[in-house]
Amino acid sequence: MDIEKKAEGIIRLALSEDLGAEGDITTKVVVDEHATGSARLIAKSPMVVCGQRVAARVFELAQPGSQYSAVIEDGGEVSIGEEIGRVTGFIRSILAGERTALNFLCHMSGIATLTRELVKKVSAAGIQIMDTRKTHPGMRDLEKYAVMIGGGQNHRRGLYDGVIIKDNHILAAGGIKRAVRLARNALGGQFPIEVEAGTLDDVWDALDSGASIIMLDNMDPITIKQAVEIIGGRAKVEVSGGVRPDNLQEFLIPGVDAISMGFITMSASAADISLELDAG
C-alpha cells in the first residue's frame, strides 16, 4: 500500500492548519534562510514504528530543501532512546515540518504498538484482532494501515466494500431473515453477508438465514460460549463490543474467529517521539 499517496490530502490539510498563510514566522525571524543541518527522530517510549513514508512526505511538502530517511522501517520494534529516522536540509524546512510529521508518527505508531500487544495476547488462541469503522474523520486509511503494521486485520474500509446487517438495518427491514434475503437477492454472492446478533434468538435467525459471519455484539463471555455452541462452525464468529485490552483474556473462547475493537483506533495512546536538531 502506498500509504503516503492515500494520505496526501490529510497531510496537506495538516500542514495548512499548522503553517497557515504566513508559514513558520518564529523560524523565519530567528533562523538564517541558508542555514543547513540535520535532525534525529528519537523514540521516547517503546513502540512499533509506523508512518515513516507519511513523515517523509510531510517534509517534502512542508518547504523545499529537506530529505527524510527512515532508520527503522514500519513494523520495526524499538526501545527508548533509539533513533528511528533522520532528516537533513535547510533548518527552516526541517522545523516547518517537525510538528506535523511527529503528530502522524506518534499517532500511527501508538496504534501499531497497541495492535501488536493485542495480537500477541490472542496468538495462541488462533483469533484475529480486527479494527472497525470507528476511526477519526479523514484518518481512516492511516489508522487502518497502522493496524495492519501492528499485525491486526482490517475490517471493511467503509460502507461500500462489505455487508454487515446491524440492529438498525434489522429494525428497518422487519427482521434478520428478511434483511438477509433482501441483501442476498440484490447482491448475490458479491459479498459475504455478516449479521449482528445481540441475543441468542438473533443467532438462531442469522444461522437460519445462511449468514456467512455472525457478529456477537456486546455479549458477555458466558453468552458467547452458548452462541458458539449454537453456531457449531456453520458460520464464522466475530465478537465485538465491550472488549478492551484489560479484559481481552475473558473473550479468548474456542470457536471465536475474530475480535473487532474500535478501541484500537479511537483510544490508543500516542507513542512518544522527539526531534533533536543538530545545527551542524
C-alpha cell at 274: 522527539
Active site residues: 99, 134, 166, 196, 217
Residue linked to cell 483474556: 249
Q: 143-155 in b/e burial notation, b at 16+ Cβ within 10 A?
A: bbbbbbbbbbeeb
At 27 the three-state DSSP class reads: helix
Q: What is the amino acid identity at position 37?
A: G
C-alpha cell at 279: 545545527
Beta-carbon contacts of 245 under 8 Å, excluding residues fewer than 6 positions away, are 114, 117, 118, 263
At 230 the three-state DSSP class reads: helix
Centroid of chain to Cα 147 = 4
What's the CA gap between 256 and 141, in Å, rounded? Answer: 27
